[in-house]
Amino acid sequence: MLYFPMLVLFDVTLRTNLNHKGHIKDMKKFPILYVVFAGLSWGSAGLFVHFLAPDFSSLQLAFVRSGVSAVVALVLALITDPKSLKLTFRQLLPLALGGIAFFSMASFYYMAIANSSTSTAAVILNMAPIFVMIFSTVFWGERFTLRKGLAVLAAVGGCALVTGIVGGLVFAPVGILYGFLSCVSYATYSISVRTAAKRGVKAVTANTYIFLVASIVAAFFANPVALVKSAASVPFYLVIALIGFGFFTGILPSFLYTKAMEKLPAGVVASMSAIEPLTLAVTGIVFLHDVITVYSGIGMVLILGSVFVLSLENNENK
C-alpha cells in the first residue's frame, strides 16, 4: 500500500514518455522520475523519526542527516569530479543559503512530527510550491499557467483536508506552526538549488556544499558530544538506523531533486514533490496507526491528482 501512489505516478509518467514503439522518447527529458523517487526516499523520514525520536532530539537528527549526507557527497565529488568543487563566490552564495534552509527545514519538520501526527506534519508541506512558483515567476520568468495554478490549489486543498483545518477535525496548532516554518524553509531550499543550477553548479557539487553548510550550522545546536554518547548507549541497530536515516532521507533524495532542478522548472519540481508528504501520510496510516478519515482520504486524492496534472504540464511543454 505504501508504494501504490508511487507506482501510479510511475505508470502515468512512463506512458506519457513512450513513443509508438514502446521506447522512452528521450532519457534527458525524463526527470520526473527523479522527483518521484526523491519523494519516496524523503517519505521514509516519518518511520525513521518515529523509532529514533525517543533517543535523539530533533536537532540531533537534523545534524545526523546533514553530516552523513555531507560525507557521502564529498567522497562522491572527490571520486567523480574533484575539479567541480572549485566554485566562484557567486555560485557559493545560493548554496550557503540552501544549507541553512536545509537545516531549518529538517529541524522544524521533525519538531512538527513530534508535536502532531506524521500525516499532518508531512502534508502541510504542500504549501511550499506556492512560494516556489511565486519566486520562480518573479525572479526567473517561469510561465505560470492556469493548469499549474489549479494543481497548486488542489494540493493546498488536500493539505487543509488532511491536517484537519477543513472538516472540523482536531489538529495541533504547535505542530502545524512548525510545519509551516518547515514549508517556508523548504521553499527557500528549492529556490537556492534552482539558482545554483542556473549558475552552472553540478548536482553532486551543490549537494556537497549544501550539506557541509547544514552540518556546520547543525553542530552549533545539536550538541555533537551528547549525540555520540547517546549513540554509544543505544542498541547497534539504532546506530545503523541513524546512518540509513542520513542516507535515505538526505543525500539520495536531495541528489535526485537537484538533478530534476537541472531539467524542470522549480515550481513544477516543488509541486510534484507533494508525492513526499503523501507517502509520509500513507506511511503514518499503515505503519504508525495514524487515523484516516473521509476528509483526509479526499485530501490525499487531491494531492495525487495535482502531481498527475503537473506531470502532464511538463510533457506538453517539452
301 domain residue, yes or no: yes
Q: How many CB atoms lie within 10 A of CB 206?
A: 31
Amino acid at 58: S
CB neighbours of residue 143 within 10 Å: 11
Q: Tell me whether residue 13 is in a domain.
A: no
Q: Is residue 14 part of a domain?
A: no
pTM of the predicted model as reported, rounded to 2 decimal places: 0.69
Q: Cell match 566562484: residue? A: 88
d(CA 206, CA 204): 6
Whether 295 is in a domain gets the answer yes
Evaluate whether residue 21 is within a structural domain. no
Boundaries of domain holding 275: 29-316
In a domain, 222, yes or no: yes
Find where cell 544549507 sits. Answer: 99
Which three-class secondary structure state does DSSP give residue 24?
strand
> Which residues are bridge partners to 24 per DSSP?
18
pLDDT at residue 14, as a whole number:
42
pLDDT, residue 271, reads 58
Q: How many domains does the chain have?
A: 1
19 within some domain: no
First-to-last CA distance in the chain?
32
**What are the mean pLDDT values of the chain's consecutive 10-residue runs (318 residues total)?**
41 45 47 76 77 83 89 91 91 94 83 72 66 69 75 74 59 79 83 86 90 92 87 89 89 82 65 61 68 76 72 55
Q: Which of 62, 69, 33 is nearest to 45 (CA)?
A: 62
Return the pLDDT at 158.
74
Instruction: Provide the sign of the torsion angle of the four alpha carbons 175, 45, 253, 143, taken in this order.
Output: negative
